Amino acid sequence: MTVDSLFPHAFDPANFQVVVRRPHPPEARSATRVVVGLLLPLLLTALILYYAVGNPTAGSHLKRSESASWSWCVLFVLRQAVVLSAVRAGEVISIDILALRTPVFLRLFGSFATLMIVQARGWPYVTTFWALLDFCVLFGKLRFARQ
């Protein structure tokens, strides 16, 4: 038994024409503001602190190997902003587009579960998935998590 046999119209390409056909200017403007107003200035600040100033440490009373540098702190805030932006984009895609504009979630999960997903829009969705994505991306022994 496959998903296609249970939900024959769930993955119909006609359901996804809504996504392709309709532009989303509020989301695009918001993403542009985040990139230009937050991510680029933070990245520029971290580059200046690292290359131009010599990567100063944040704790002057600690040894250099025991304290974080100011550029690392700025990059940590930058990573949090990137993760938050990814969560917000996931919210737009999963709730605003797939749950509200297409019948995909209704056919896959049913009306009650789709209603519960839509009701989680906003801070419940953001805090839950921000924590999950933070844990998945910034925890562990991978090179990205250690930076």
Q: Cα–Cα distance between 147 and 134 in angstroms, integer?
A: 14
Q: Residue type at 18?
A: V
Q: Assess contact for 77 and 106: CB atoms under 8 A.
A: no
Residue 76 in tokens: 């940590």
Domain segments of the chain: what residues? 24-146
How many angstroms separate the CA atoms of 135 and 35, rounded? 23
Q: Which of the 8 DSSP states describes residue 15?
A: G
Q: Which residues in the chain come in under a pLDDT of 50?
A: 3
User: Could you read off the pLDDT of 69-100 as tens digits, one per residue?
Assistant: 888 889 889 989 999 999 999 998 899 888 98
Residue with tokens 């993955």: 11
The pTM of this model reads 0.73
